[in-house]
A and B are shown apart, each in its own frame.
Chain A
């Protein structure tokens, strides 16, 4: 048999099989792009092309009207800056000069003697975020607000680089005595272990290193998060946890991280 005869419409086998394939193709297209999308009672298509494009998976930008905007400032700091992960020596040097104005509370080497947070060895993203939030008003504090108000982004990046560069204070506590709430959280109350974000097990960018922080400071911040007085944690990630903590747990966490337990 010659090949031209085989692939010609006069060949009954050829025309039937091509015809059948076309019928299957068309009916599955109608089923998939029109019948099934419209069978969904909750589909809200503006027309036939809308239904086809949606079934084909063309992405649409999410839009919703009547959004309830917050009446407070939301933390808008961008933590992905490359300068925060690999700072230049100039940046660290400039940060050291700027840090002189912080030494009264945070200590000349970033270790406080006044229950202010210890900044030595803190993650650069954390320092940057908090300074940014103090300036924007997402976090309020009578002392820090005025300081941050006069800083530009460069100052904040340099300060973050300097404090991240300083050595952390060595831990003095006995690792055998980790409170249950720190070691394993309380999964039945929706509390993950502290270290799953704060760096000892895993680190979530923007979460501070807690070891060696003053107990009074940690306790106060947990209470602010629980009451909603502090809300510069993105999407309530810390408020959700702090609300679920008991009074005793807040105290245990604070004294554990302070190393006073």
Chain B
């Protein structure tokens, strides 16, 4: 091998290296941009706050006592839904929300890790004992959605689900006027 040959192949190697470096930088830029766009426009924002709560005392006081669960109207016109997941049911079993309204789901677990998923929507979060999960949603159509537990939580897991009923806003408001917490548990 002559020294000219060597120099020529070094030039080629450098070109290839540069090309691969460019490709990997493009991949990094693409993935970052994708995450940013998804985070801003596809409403897959991670929860803004980490909130902790004592899972052994949620039923005794605070916002997750059973009489405070269900849907509540906030002063700004939005609705907050509070729920508890436990082996093997959600309380309340049937959640009532108005259509075309900002709905904030706040839920936690009383025992093990559960999951809260509302079918046909992008509401999907884990319920971890000790933490409050919060997710904001807006339902554009009236109808019923299943809300199954999406984390295997032991042998009775298949029986753990609730119902989310999206109803007309006026109907919801008239129901909420008589009671301060609304649900569709019979």
Give A residues with C-beta under 8 Å from B. 31, 36-37, 39-40, 42-43, 45, 54-55, 57-62, 64, 66-71, 74-76, 78, 80, 185-187, 190-193, 195-197, 201-202, 204, 231, 234-237, 240-241, 243-244
In the assembled complex, 5 residue pairs joining A and B whose CB atoms fall closer than 8 Å, in A order, are: A60-B51, A62-B62, A67-B61, A236-B91, A237-B91
Task: Determine whether the beta carbon of A235 is less than 8 Å from that of B66.
Answer: yes
Assembly CA distance A197 to B92 (angstroms): 19
B68 touches A59 (CB 8 A): no
* With A67-B62, A192-B88, A234-B110: A61-B51 Cβ-Cβ less than 8 Å: yes
Q: Are B50 and A59 in touch, CB under 8 angstroms?
A: yes
List residues 109-167 of chain B with CB under 8 A from any CB of chain A: 110-111, 132, 136, 154-162
Write out, one digit per residue, whether chain B residues 40-58 have a CB within 8 A of any chain A CB (1) or not (0).
1000010011111100101
Return chain B residues, CB-CB under 8 Å to A71: 67
B36 partner, pick from A31, A42, A204, A240, beta carbons under 8 A: A31
B41 to nearest A CB, angstroms?
Answer: 9
The interface on chain B, measured as residues whose beta carbon lies within 8 A of the other chain's beta carbons, has a size of 50
Cβ–Cβ < 8 Å partners of A66 in chain B: 72
Docked CA distance A60–B131 (Å): 10
User: Given the complex of chains A and B, what is the CA–CA distance between A66 and B154 in angstroms?
Assistant: 35
Which residues on the B side are within 8 Å of A237 (C-beta)? Answer: 86-89, 91
Across the interface, B50 reaches (CB within 8 A) one of A39, A42, A60, A75, namely A60
Q: Is the CB of A39 within 8 A of B39?
A: yes
**A74-B52 in contact given A190-B89, A190-B161, A201-B155 (Cβ < 8 Å):** no
Q: Which residues on the A side are within 8 Å of B90 (C-beta)? A: 240
Stretch at the interface among B2-10, B11-19, B178-186: B178-186
B50 touches A58 (CB 8 A): yes
Q: Does B93 contact A (CB under 8 A)?
A: yes
- Interface pair A76/B159, CB less than 8 Å apart: no
B110:A243 contact, CB within 8 angstroms:
no
B87 touches A67 (CB 8 A): no
Identify B155's interface contact among A55, A67, A196, CB under 8 A.
A196
Task: Apart from A67-B61, A192-B157, A197-B156, list 14 A-B contacts with CB within 8 A.
Answer: A54-B49, A60-B49, A60-B51, A61-B53, A62-B51, A67-B62, A68-B67, A68-B68, A69-B65, A69-B68, A75-B59, A192-B155, A192-B158, A197-B88
